[in-house]
Structure 1
Amino acid sequence: MKKLTLTTWLLTLSLGNVWAEDPPAPETDTAAGSNTVQADVPRVMPTPQQTRIAGLIARLSENDSHEIETLNADGTDFLGLFRESESGDPQGCLVMLHGDHGHPDWPQVIQPLREALPIHSWCTLSIEVPDIGGRATPVTITTGENDGAAPEENPTLPNEETVFARIDAAAQLIRDKGYSQVAYMGYRSGAAYALRYTAERGTTNQALILIEPRSFSPVSEFELAQNIERLRLPVLDYYFNRTPQDERFARQRQAAANKRTNRQEAYTQIDALPDARYDPTGNKRLVQRVWGFLKQNINQQSQRKELPEFEKELFYKSPLD
């Protein structure tokens, strides 16, 4: 036992001498080179929107490349998906704005409408809307308290100027393709942009369709709803009453509509919660609601195609024959 203790002590002393030695200093050139390499390594920044759009273009390029349009607003290119009316008597065209972190062929709401409405004499142009913020961006909660700061008289949505310029470019493309009537539709944050656009532009003689509208800071839901009072065109407000917040926001929009001086233009609010399912049945109801609203509230164009001639000889034989 005594011998083991001595051996252990000697081993400890030996290791202690090794640890006490100063470690060899790295060569200056190697260290500098290492630091240089680290500084020169490019950092890969995630670009989720560009990735979504690139994937969408790759998918559509296989069979539907004719739908892809490259538009430009303020010097920046963006994607549009155009579908021609599939009838001989086109009634107009619908500009479609998807929700935040979506794309112009989003499977919920956007895709069913943009594919089905052309069958009912409406062309569709679904455009790319920039993301409001990254997925890791902290959410700003609007409480109504401003800590003494004066509130903005007319707050704007994030990217509002960019989105307005894109809507202008989309409307111009539609006119260039020969369509005289333009309607606007937005889904969630896209509905907020469409509402703000038509209110700010004083749009008339057209139509606005809001699907499950959502607002974003610095524009509160109440402030967004007040834009409805300024509208001068028919509006379909199609929402899903899932929460008390949804119900409160819907009441605010209806109250603003009730204060409009231009009451002859329709404002139709529908709690479509029973239709809020993303399957063929829910999509069919959505298409019927939107198409029916457009048909009832926009001047229908006269038919361009001639009616087939009635050939009597197919059904009538003269007694002289």
Structure 2
Amino acid sequence: MKKITLATWLLLLSPAVLWAEGEENETSPDAPAGAPSVIQSDVPRVMPTPQETRIAGLVNRLSENHAHEIETLTAEGEEFLGLFRESESGDPQGCVVILHGDHGHPDWPQVVSPLREKLTQHSWCTLAIEIPDIRNRATPVQIQVEPTQDTQNDNTPELPNEATVFARIDAAVALTQDKGYSQVVYLGYRTGAAYALRYTAEKGTTNQALILIEPRTSLPVSEYDLAQNIERLRLPVLDYYFNRNTLVERFANYRQAAANKRTNRSVNYTQIDALPDARYDPAGNKRLVQRVWGFLKQNTNQQSQRKELPEFEKELFYKSPID
């Protein structure tokens, strides 16, 4: 085999090298001398809109058989979706406003859909509302350090989209009142629970109830900061979580400690580690509904559900004895 000399290699490679250099130095006619090449395209970029896509798909799915549930609400000049279901009894107790988790929707199959459907069988109406997605989810994780007593203050940072979500809750409550329901329960799932907790704490809500299911927070609000809102609550609370790991347990401990510091002990705070119920199947959903309904039955103003039997003319059922 003949040896290939260095000069031969240079001759073989030179066309490719010259072609590559020519392409790198190629610029558009209008570009200034020495400017790097820029590939231009007239095709507009399409930004993904995952929430709009999810909501449009949900509306399309429900429109065929459940169009009567679809409500269009407005807050801050922006329309958003609500799914309303009437109580299936003649003596409704009130309405449950349901907040889904981040990147979900008002008929999310885990937790949200079973509760919004089944609670109506237990004398409650339900209104599940659309919550905006939390942007910039790639924010670096910050190590949470429990502050000392001296460093604690009341300047707790807000959750992302907090003002928007609060305005939507206000609009949801107004809708339930327009439909004749005077008693409202706030129920949140995951980040929806964080919004519900912050809302009721900030508003000083009383004479109603709050249900937190698998609560999760979002930066810049740490788990410790979010838990401190429980100390300010003035209404009964069901804290329903799934103790899957030490981080979840620590967050639950923060919430229980804050509840223990409340000065108003006349309202109930119930924390349940419901890990066995964390099965998204009919059995798990049934137990979840039963526990939520049981809590509401014991911790809300219950209207009388026992109706007096109507009076009938006795002659309809028996005849008087013959004289």
Query: Same-fold call, TM > 0.5?
Result: yes
What amino acid does structure 1 have at the position aligned with 2:142?
Answer: T
TM-aligned CA deviation for residue 118 of structure 1: 0.8
What amino acid does structure 1 have at the position aligned with 2:143?
Answer: T
CA contact (8 A) 1:140 1:217 kept: no
Q: 1:85 to 1:41 in 2, by over 3 A?
A: same
Q: Give, in whole Å, the separation in 2 of the partners of 1:64 and 1:309.
A: 39
Other-structure match for 1:317: 319
Aligned residues: 302
Q: 1:320 to 1:36 in 2, by over 3 A?
A: farther
Other-structure match for 2:141: 141
Q: Give, in whole Å, the separation in 1 of the partners of 2:254 and 2:39.
A: 58
TM-aligned CA deviation for residue 317 of structure 1: 2.8
Q: Is 2:303 the counterpart of 1:301?
A: yes
Percent identity between matched residues is 74
**Is the partner of 2:256 in helix, strand or coil?**
helix
1:220 to 219, 222, 242: 222
**Is the partner of 1:268 in helix, strand or coil?**
strand
1:154 to 153, 156, 159: 156
TM-aligned CA deviation for residue 300 of structure 1: 1.1
CA contact (8 A) 1:240 1:272 kept: yes
Q: Give, in whole Å, the separation in 2 of the partners of 1:317 and 1:261.
A: 65
TM-aligned CA deviation for residue 272 of structure 1: 0.5
CA RMSD of aligned residues (A): 3.1
Other-structure match for 1:230: 232
TM-aligned CA deviation for residue 40 of structure 1: 3.0
Deviations 1:203-236 (A, max 9, x none): 0000000000001111111110000000000000
Q: Give, in whole Å, the separation in 1 of the partners of 2:87 and 2:228.
A: 34
Other-structure match for 1:186: 188
Deviations 1:31-82 (A, max 9, x none): 9xxx999443210101000000000000000100010000010001000000
Q: Give, in whole Å, the separation in 2 of the partners of 1:170 and 1:280.
A: 29
Q: Give, in whole Å, the separation in 2 of the partners of 1:42 and 1:305.
A: 65
Deviations 1:75-114 (A, max 9, x none): 0100000001111001000000000000000000000000
**Is the partner of 1:185 in helix, strand or coil?**
strand
Q: Is 2:113 the counterpart of 1:108?
A: no
Deviations 1:114-141 (A, max 9, x none): 000111110000000001126xx41431
TM-score by length of 1: 0.85
TM-aligned CA deviation for residue 29 of structure 1: 8.1
Runs of at least 5 residues in structure 2 that lack an aligned partner in the other structure: 2-7, 32-36, 146-150
Q: Give, in whole Å, the separation in 1 of the partners of 2:311 and 2:259.
A: 48
Q: Is 2:129 the counterpart of 1:127?
A: yes
**Is the partner of 1:263 in helix, strand or coil?**
coil
**Is the partner of 2:240 in helix, strand or coil?**
strand
Runs of at least 5 residues in structure 1 that lack an aligned partner in the other structure: 2-8
Q: Give, in whole Å, the separation in 2 of the partners of 1:169 and 1:217.
A: 25
What amino acid does structure 2 have at the position aligned with 1:225?
Answer: A
1:21-60 to 2 correspondences below 5 Å: 38-60=40-62
1:206 to 208, 212, 216: 208
